[in-house]
Amino acid sequence: MTRRKLLRIAGAAAFGGVAAGFVPLTGEASPEQCRLTQRAVSWSGTGGLRLMHLTDPHVGWATPTELLQQAALLASRTNPDLVVLTGDYVNRSLRYLGELRRFLRALARPRVATLGNHDHWCGAPAVTR
């Protein structure tokens, strides 16, 4: 599944209830900069869906472990029905795949994911595993 198609599906799913995600604020990433944004969107004919969208963690030197831990904690507190991950899990190397595994395992299930451009540049098969 392509990133664009997954974003389209995730966008449509978000109309069923609450979409939430985290974003690092301006400047250097730190745990204090992790915040949760929630949006309620109504869509007739659905029972609702809690969707957690996480994107561009760039695990490794670009994103401190503490920020990833905080993001996973915030994500789990939302009790999502589905976690949607939309790529750029690595930054410039595959060196931090172990840290990426720990981050992903800390997230709620079910999860769907697609790769981003950084993942393809560094080695899509390794990131997919």
Q: Report yes or no: 21 and 56 within 8 Å, Cβ to Cβ.
A: no
Q: Please give the pLDDT value at position 1.
A: 58
Run of H or E including 41: none
- In the CATH hierarchy, which fold is given to the domain comprising 3-24+31-128? Purple Acid Phosphatase; chain A, domain 2 (3.60.21)
pLDDT of residue 46: 66
pLDDT of residue 31: 54
The CA–CA distances, whole Å, from 129 to 6, 9, 27, 51, 119 equal 19, 23, 32, 24, 12
Regions of the chain short of the pLDDT cut 50:
12-27
Q: Residue 28 in 3-state DSSP? A: coil
Q: How do the domains of the chain map onto residue ranges?
A: 3-24+31-128
CA gap 122, 101 in Å, rounded? 16
Q: Strand 82-85 vs strand 34-40: parallel, antiparallel, or unpaired?
A: unpaired
**For residue 58, what pLDDT is reported?**
92
Closest CA relative to residue 15, chosen from 40, 34, 52? 40
Give per-residue pLDDT as tens, 88-124.
999 889 999 999 999 999 998 899 999 999 999 999 9
pLDDT of 78 reads: 87
